[in-house]
Structure 1
Amino acid sequence: MPTLPWRDIDTVLLDMDGTLLDLHYDNHFWMEHLPQRYAELHGISRAMAELEMQPLFERNAGQLQWYCLDFWSSELRLPVRELKLETAHLIALRPDADTFLAAIKQAGKRVILITNAHRDSLSLKLERIELAPYFERLISSHDYGFPKESRQFWDALQADIGFDPGRSLFIDDTLPILRSAREFGVGHLLAVSVPDSRKGPKDTAEFAAVGDYQALIAGL
């Protein structure tokens, strides 16, 4: 676990899925529940459903439409919003994420959520987990028209909130997004070691990783 130079950090930018919330909900929905419901609603086998869906997933990964429920509803001819409600009981905080949020807010840091999640996904999760009070802003990349993987997202964020990248901490569970933030000049970057509680630690490559939010607030 890294020790953060909190005196050099004014703004904390936080991802949502896999960072503050357990990624198990999203992984289960997209990899298990949605293919099963696609098979049932289109009258085909589960194996055929996966064969039809896989090229779509591969073609759109990392692009804004990858995160857009309207796009997937149209592509798959399914009511994706409604289907996400069927597994909403799996939405859960990562351990001590709320303790971390309370501590950094109490310390006077500027705390901003930046997520690639579609606004409908964001609303669904905020209905079940009370995250909003911890944040100055809740920003979806759909607000800007660019995913966090894109430099254009960071330019739009800078124009919107006017933060100092060098004095900012950003935590995310996706390596291409962390690399995009680094290229923009964000000074303090952390990956997430176990974004999905049902899976083991992931390789966070060149990035230090947070595994324990309690330990992260040491020295705050």
Structure 2
Amino acid sequence: MINWTSLETVFLDMDGTLLDLHFDNHFWLEHLPRRYAEHHNLPPGEAKDQLISMIMAEKGTLNWYCTDYWSNRLDMDITGLKSEIGDRIGYRPHVADFLQTLKNTGLQSVIVTNCHPDPLELKLQRTGLDTLVDSIVSSHQLGKPKEDTAFWHDLQRLTPYRASATLLVDDSFPVLESARSAGIAQCLGILAPDSKQAARKTHEKIPCVHHFDEVLTAIQAQRPLPSTG
């Protein structure tokens, strides 16, 4: 499925790949509509319809992910509202074992996320995820989302890498397709990003897994640990 022996760098999405997407889905589809209705004195159904319409209009753009944009647009403190349900932030299955295996076998691990720096900090405080990887890059540092093919070229400024020796793991098919178009050699999709929702169908051209335990044996077989003898 993946040629682990050819790799130097593994780019990792965060939400839906390392962390359970349930937090974000619950926030945008349930918690925010409820608080938006209260804040603007609207019926819950009307508030949700308004929000979903506004959000979907920004899909695929950096605004879609921008906490500052939505705080200004909605006249609400989005990061503060996210912290209200911070107890829902958590890892997906087998993530710690997967990240430790990457480290043990000499692969550089870099989180490459569309998450805005403010909620990113909230998630790192809750999980300590930054201690398990080599570095983290937010698309907001480059001014364009991962869906934009130019993002992957601009990423070289912050994290130099050889595209031919790089793997991207992400739950977003549009992002994976963008990376492939930019020359990233290998991609791996995640089919079960939200623990409260059913898994999705696999991509016709990109290999996919439900959870990281499906690749641990292959990594260890293809990249045996250095001998200490």
TM-score range relative to shorter protein: over 0.9
The offset of 1:81, in angstroms, is: 1.0
Residues 126, 132 of structure 1: 8 Å contact kept: yes
The structural deviation recorded for 1:211 is 1.7
Q: TM-score, normalised by structure 2?
A: 0.92
Tell me which of 21, 42, 54 is aligned to 1:23: 21
CA contact (8 A) 2:168 2:188 kept: yes
In 1: Cα distance, 2:141 partner to 2:215 partner:
30
Partner of 1:210: 209
Structure 1 counterpart of 2:40: 42
Structure 2: stretches of 5+ with no match in the other structure: 224-229
Q: Match for residue 93 of structure 2? A: 95
Distance 1:195 1:81 in 2: 22
Structure 1 unaligned segments of length 5 or more: list them: none
| Alpha-carbon distance, 1:86 to partner | 0.8
Distance 2:102 2:28 in 1: 32
- Give the number of equivalent residue pairs: 218
The offset of 1:79, in angstroms, is 1.1
| Aligned pairs for 1:45-194 within 5 A | 45-194=43-192
Deviation at 1:92, TM superposition (A): 0.7
Q: What stretches of structure 1 move > 3 A for 4+ residues in a row?
A: none
Aligned AA (1:213): F
TM-score, L = length of structure 1:
0.96
Q: Which amino acid aligns with 2:198?
A: G
Residue 161 of structure 1 aligns to a residue whose secondary structure is coil
CA contact (8 A) 1:72 1:80 kept: yes
Letter in 1 for 2:10: V
Q: Is the 8 A contact 2:14 2:112 kept in 1?
A: yes
Q: Secondary structure at the match of 1:217?
A: helix
Q: Against the structure 1 CA distance between its residues 154 and 46, is the aligned structure 2 distance closer, same or farther, given a 3 Å change threshold? A: same
SS of the equivalent of 2:158 reads helix
